[in-house]
Amino acid sequence: MDAGRFAALADAYGGALHRWPPAEQAAAVLFAETEQGRAILQRAGRLDAMLDRHRVEVPSAALHRAVVARAATEVRQERRRRFWWLGFGLAGVGLAGAVAGLALVTVVNPDIQSDHYVMDANATSFGDAGPEQTEEDL
Amino acid sequence: MGADPDEELVRRIGAGDPAAVQAMVARKLPRILALAARMLGDAAEAEDVAQETFVRIWRHASGWRRGHARFDTWIHRVALNLCYDRLRRRREWTTDELPEVADEAPLPDAIPGDEERRVNQALQRIAPRQREAIVLVYYQELSNIEAAGAMQVSVDALESLLARGRRALQAMLAGDGDD
């Protein structure tokens, strides 16, 4: 690691190496032992010291209780919502299956067309065999 | 990507385990409250954001599936979105964009015991995206990759925001941002 990269990382992440990108920490530790490295870290550390003065309050007991109290209701309602959506989903899958099945039956096994030609009660198998012979023909 | 240390806890919350709820609040509430307090500079608004963040955690627990982000990164993103909603509302932005340029004028010298208020003022005066980067990396101690993921920017962009933000803070707090 050269001085330029070391300074750029200190500008971004400050003077504490544990906040630096993990992939560059090993090289940074080596450079930090140089005089130039120490000067860069010292300068970055001055701003860190100022930032460390900014503290935030720990959560109050009332806030903790309010957050926990809301959990029971929200988790239960969400589980109920998910249950109903699952029900709707299964019903939808069932309906889709029924429609698909009906479509399949229609395609694979279409209605057989009625044979109108053999339904005439007067017809015989010889009905259209040819013209009738008369006595005059004999 | 390694194992997510929160995944099992989230699963138990989704299954309705009260002990897991308590554990999650103990583990995450201080972090989320600190994040919101530093982003907003207002303790009462930070509490509201923390509560709203947890409502979203409870609602998503039963359906939580790990995607590209760890659970901790996801809740940071949720809390940050809630903070930005409030920043936009509070400052009545005429557009949807928050300012990118910080007001880097030096702050008055601190009187003894007043340093914390001064740092808070400085944090609130830098551009929100720079503040977000510093809060995530410096105070929340997210890794560069996690912070970049939470901010939905590249690591290079994150480093640029961090460097510009720290320079602005240096100029305001110490008046020597050019060194």
- From B47's Cα to the closest Cα of chain A, the distance in A is 7
B64: pLDDT confidence band, cut at 50, 70 and 90? confident
Question: May I ask the CATH class of domain B99-179?
Answer: mainly alpha
Taking the Cβ of residue B87 and every Cβ of chain A, the question of whether any pair is shorter than 8 Å is answered with no
What number is the average pLDDT over the span A42-47? 96
> Would you state the pLDDT for residue B86?
95
Query: Mean pLDDT of all residues in chain A?
Result: 80
pLDDT > 70? residue A112: no
- The least confident of A50-59, A93-102, B15-24 is A93-102
Give the rounded distance of the alpha carbon of B85 from its chain centre: 13
What number is the average pLDDT over the span B118-140? 96
- From B132's Cα to the closest Cα of chain A, the distance in A is 13
Question: Please, which residues have CB within 8 angstroms of residue B155's CB and are 6 or more apart in sequence?
Answer: A21, B144, B145, B148
Taking the Cβ of residue B116 and every Cβ of chain A, the question of whether any pair is shorter than 8 Å is answered with yes
Per-residue CA distances from A119 to A9, A115, A123 (Å): 96, 7, 8
Q: Which residue in the set B62, B119, B143 is minimally distant from A78, CB to CB?
A: B62
Query: Mean pLDDT of all residues in chain B?
Result: 87
DSSP A37-65: HHHHHHHHHHHHHHHTT---PPPPHHHHH
Q: What angle do CA B169, B171, B177 make, to 5 degrees?
A: 110
Residues of chain B with CATH 1.10.1740.10: 1-98
> Would you state the pLDDT for residue B1?
57
Give B-chain residues touching A71 at CB under 8 angstroms: 13, 18, 21, 25, 54, 58
Residue of higher predicted confidence among B112 and B57: B57
A34: pLDDT confidence band, cut at 50, 70 and 90? very high
> Would you state the pLDDT for residue A25?
95
CB A63 within 8 A of CB B51: yes
Dihedral-angle region of residue A29 (phi above 0 means left; psi in -120 to 50 means alpha; beta otherwise): alpha
pLDDT > 90? residue A120: no
Residue A12 one-letter amino acid: A
ipTM tops 0.85: no
Q: Which residue in the set A12, A57, A78 is minimally distant from B162, CB to CB?
A: A12
Q: List helix spans (H) across chain B.
A: 7-14, 18-40, 43-61, 71-91, 115-125, 128-134, 144-151, 155-174
What is the rounded CA–CA span in Å between residue B178 and residue A90?
Answer: 65
Percent of chain A with pLDDT over 70: 68
CB B33 within 8 A of CB B130: no
DSSP state of B172: H
> Would you state the pLDDT for residue B125?
94
B62: pLDDT confidence band, cut at 50, 70 and 90? confident
pLDDT in tens, B134-177: 999 999 999 999 999 999 999 999 999 999 999 999 999 986 54
What is the rounded CA–CA span in Å between residue B65 and residue B63?
Answer: 6
Residues of chain B with CATH 1.10.10.10: 99-179
Give B-chain residues touching A70 at CB under 8 angstroms: 51, 54-55, 58
Helix (H) or strand (E) holding A70: helix A61-108
Dihedral over Cα of B58, B59, B62, B68: its sign: negative
B179: pLDDT confidence band, cut at 50, 70 and 90? very low
pLDDT > 50? residue A3: yes
Query: In the block, which residue shows the tokens 């030096």?
Result: B106
Which of B22, B51, B144 to mutate to probe the A interface, most A CBs <10 Å?
Answer: B144
CATH of B1-98, one of 3.40.109.10, 1.25.40.10, 1.10.1740.10, 3.40.50.300: 1.10.1740.10
pLDDT > 70? residue A28: yes
Percent of chain B with pLDDT over 70: 82
pLDDT > 50? residue A70: yes
> Would you state the pLDDT for residue B104?
62
Q: Is A83 exposed, middle or buried (0-12, 13-18, 19+ CB in 10 A)?
A: exposed
pLDDT > 80? residue B127: yes
What number is the average pLDDT over the span A53-76? 90
The candidate with the shortest Cα–Cα distance to A11, out of A53, A54, A36, A45, is A45
> Would you state the pLDDT for residue A79?
65
